[in-house]
Amino acid sequence: MLGVLVQAQTLTATFPSMAGELVRFGTFQGIQSRTLDSVRVGANGTFSFSFKTDKPAIGYLITAENKPYFLILDKNERIRLQGGHLSYFESVQILEGQQNQAFTTYAVQHPRREQALSAWGYLEKIYTLDSLFSIQAVPSQAIQSEKVRIKQEDQAYLEALNPSWYVRWYLPMRSLVSDVSIIAQYRTEEIPATITAFRTLDYTDERLYRSGLLKDAIESHFWLLENSGRSLDSVYLAMKVSIDSMMLHLVKNESRLNEVTDYLFDLLERHSLFQASEYLALKVLNESRCTLNSDLAKQLETYRAMKKGNIAPDMEFKGNLKTSVPKLKKLSELKSTYTLVVFGASWCETCKEEVPKIAKLYPKWKGKGVDVVYISLDETQEAFEQFVQTFPFSSYCDYGKWDSPLAVSYYVFATPTMFLLDAKREILLRPNSTSQMDAWVDYFLR
């Protein structure tokens, strides 16, 4: 069976001021970008790239200034550019390439329309809420009419584009992502519709996968939920609904499920949205139709096995233990009301910042009934002992790194990882930083 013949496309450019500069040409695959080629601009300012694309995508040109210039890559779309410098968008002219010409036109006009809409929205609120102006019906109606006209003009431009063009799909998608902060701040009445638009997205869509917008779509979706003026409980409920909507398509595509879940889980953890990350973890782990890659599975399994309310395994200290507690053999032998278990390593850059902070706060915490046990994933005695030599709390290492029985039993996949336990080893909190743990001490142990 013969394969599909993909004709090579060309991109040529003339930028005299860029003579001698290195230009990289790349595209996107899901969350990641990848460089396809690079060239040195000629003495006369010219350079070119040849590429093959069986499906439309977004490409980029980037120089040492790291300001990407985005392009539509599609079959039969020969691209010819000229201008001052790629880093200055306004100086670039599209001499050839209809989709890229449409892209550039909209990229200039749409932000101006958005600014005007926000300004009219601000005036509309004044004429609606301020008693000095609310009686003026004519200006208020004029404002509403102008808002409608601007939106219709924007939509008309998109609808006039060739329906088969990739740019016809891409421009509304890019607007959905880029307009989120403006909507949250100035046009809050559009928040419900915008959230609905994100929820109806198919995160396995090949067009989205090749657009460079997959990461932005995930971030914008959950940023808007977090910053939509809701209570925290309401935010978590909304995030659960969004996660459910995303999974409708993702469970049918294992590779996309792994990629999107991995990124979203990390995003929720970084924002301390632990109820949402726990819900995502359990949702994906309970999905029998898909296979998770091993690293992601271990990461998510932590939430099932080590979630708040569960009883953490006891620990037997059979390796190198540095402690002031006489004859300490097990974690359960500590007499403290609370125990913070910290997994770290001397080779972990974040641990080098966080664990010394814990050491400084330890006297305060100890005075309020919180002990600390540091479990090292170092592989050598020298590295372990040098790192922990000044720590005032118990420190332990069996030199097993990730295969340490303690790391395995606590489903540790990253450092630092922390668990706050009560006297019965019930997991009360999984702090993501020393500052969060210290805030817990200040609030709950006042």
Q: Which residues of 76-173 form beta strands (DSSP E)? A: 79-83, 92-96
Task: Look at residue 1 in the predicted model and tell me its pLDDT.
Answer: 37
Q: How far apart are CA 303 and CA 307, in angstroms?
A: 5
Task: Look at residue 136 in the predicted model and tell me its pLDDT.
Answer: 84
Angle value at C-alpha 269, between 266 and 273, nearest 5 degrees: 135
Task: Look at residue 5 in the predicted model and tell me its pLDDT.
Answer: 45
Task: Look at residue 4 in the predicted model and tell me its pLDDT.
Answer: 44
Q: How far apart are CA 203 and CA 25, in angstroms?
A: 25
Helix pair 137-159, 98-129: axis angle to 10 deg: 160
- As given in the structure block, the two tokens for residue 263 are 């990124």
Nearest to 268 by CA among 301, 310, 235, 309: 235
Q: How far apart are CA 252 and CA 426, in angstroms?
A: 37
Bond into 416 cis (ω within 30): yes
- As given in the structure block, the two tokens for residue 75 are 């079959």
pLDDT digits (tens, 9 = 90+) for 407-431: 999 998 889 999 999 999 999 998 9
Q: What is the DSSP string of 354-409?
A: HHHHHHHHHHHHHHTTEEEEEEE--SSHHHHHHHHTT-SSEEEE-S-GGG-HHHHH
Burial track 56-78 (b if 16+ CB lie within 10 A, e otherwise): bbbbbbbbeeeebbbbbbbeebe
Task: Look at residue 301 in the predicted model and tell me its pLDDT.
Answer: 78
Q: What residue ranges of the chain have pLDDT lower than 50?
A: 1-5
Nearest to 280 by CA among 306, 295, 293, 299: 299
40 forms beta bridges with 22
**342 by DSSP, 3-state: which?**
strand
415 Rama sector, left if φ>0, alpha if ψ -120 to 50, beta otherwise: beta
Nearest to 401 by CA among 419, 382, 375, 420: 375
pLDDT digits (tens, 9 = 90+) for 365-391: 999 999 999 999 999 999 999 999 999
Q: How far apart are CA 91 and CA 15, in angstroms?
A: 10
